[in-house]
Chains A and B, each alone.
Chain A
Amino acid sequence: QKEVEQNSGPLSVPEGAIASLNCTYSDRGSQSFFWYRQYSGKSPELIMSIYSNGDKEDGRFTAQLNKASQYVSLLIRDSQPSDSATYLCAVLPGAGSYQLTFGKGTKLSVIP
């Protein structure tokens, strides 16, 4: 059974701080990793994808991947109240599979 684990939170950070969201996965053969943001009552939207070990930066967002530790994280710098949402970690298994496995999500609250 492929599993993706996230701390459900809520994670509260003050405005302007760095929010750190963590995710672990069980399938060592997983190839692709995604972070989705979901506002309450809305559908998930993709904000970051990462495929190789190391860091990937996009604006205020940095995704970090460590395949040896089966760990992926998302850092949000200069957090804004508009970042308050649930963040879903999703993992795509190895080649030939297109079925994402989602974690339960971490609810982030950015306090003004």
Chain B
Amino acid sequence: SAVISQKPSRDICQRGTSLTIQCQVDSQVTMMFWYRQQPGQSLTLIATANQGSEATYESGFVIDKFPISRPNLTFSTLTVSNMSPEDSSIYLCSAQVSGANVLTFGAGSRLTVL
């Protein structure tokens, strides 16, 4: 399965600032996704990162708040913009390797917004 490197692993941010999370996969993947896991909750899909085009966002998530890039098959970024304490969460990058029907996760980025 793919190895997914995600950084930063954690950060403490001030209200109103923005933070970009990077995700690097060690092999070519078909699909890349960004999930959010709020404290004590399950995973919620934010968006599908599409190579070379705009991400596909799920209901409740918008590009202005969570801009996503995917310039190539193995790299994606998620920005959490204009953060508020409600954005404190773990953000997880995931990928589906070409030819495989399973989803692998990065280690996650734990954000705390003060």
Taking a contact as CB atoms under 8 Å apart, the answer to whether A46 and B104 are in contact is yes
Cβ of A44 under 8 Å from chain B: yes
Q: What residue of chain B has the Cβ atom nearest to residue A46's Cβ? A: B102
Number of interface residues of A (CB under 8 A): 20
Given contacts A98-B96, A100-B45, contact A43 B101 (CB under 8 A): no
Residues of A within 8 A of B106 (CB): 43
Alpha-carbon gap, A100 to B43, bound state (A): 10
Partner of A103 from the list B42, B101, B104, B105 (CB cut-off 8 Å) is B42
A58 to B: closest C-beta gap in Å: 13
Alpha-carbon gap, A98 to B102, bound state (A): 9
Q: What residue of chain A has the Cβ atom nearest to residue B48's Cβ? A: A99
Number of interface residues of B (CB under 8 A): 21
Taking a contact as CB atoms under 8 Å apart, the answer to whether A44 and B105 are in contact is yes
Residues of A within 8 A of B107 (CB): 42-43
B22-70 interface (Cβ within 8 A of A): 30-31, 33, 41-45, 48
Taking a contact as CB atoms under 8 Å apart, the answer to whether B43 and A88 are in contact is yes
Cβ of B92 under 8 Å from chain A: yes
Cβ of A102 under 8 Å from chain B: yes
Taking a contact as CB atoms under 8 Å apart, the answer to whether B33 and A43 are in contact is no
Taking a contact as CB atoms under 8 Å apart, the answer to whether B30 and A99 are in contact is no
Which residue of B45, B96, B101 has the most chain A CB atoms within 10 A of its CB atom? B101
Taking a contact as CB atoms under 8 Å apart, the answer to whether B101 and A99 are in contact is no
Alpha-carbon gap, A105 to B41, bound state (A): 8
Alpha-carbon gap, A100 to B48, bound state (A): 11
Taking a contact as CB atoms under 8 Å apart, the answer to whether B102 and A34 are in contact is yes
Q: What residue of chain A has the Cβ atom nearest to residue B56's Cβ? A: A99
Given contacts A88-B43, A98-B31, contact A43 B105 (CB under 8 A): yes
Alpha-carbon gap, A108 to B42, bound state (A): 15
17 additional A-B pairs beyond A46-B104, A98-B33, beta carbons within 8 Å, are A32-B101, A42-B108, A43-B90, A43-B105, A43-B106, A43-B107, A44-B92, A44-B105, A46-B1, A46-B102, A46-B103, A90-B103, A98-B48, A99-B45, A99-B48, A100-B103, A103-B42
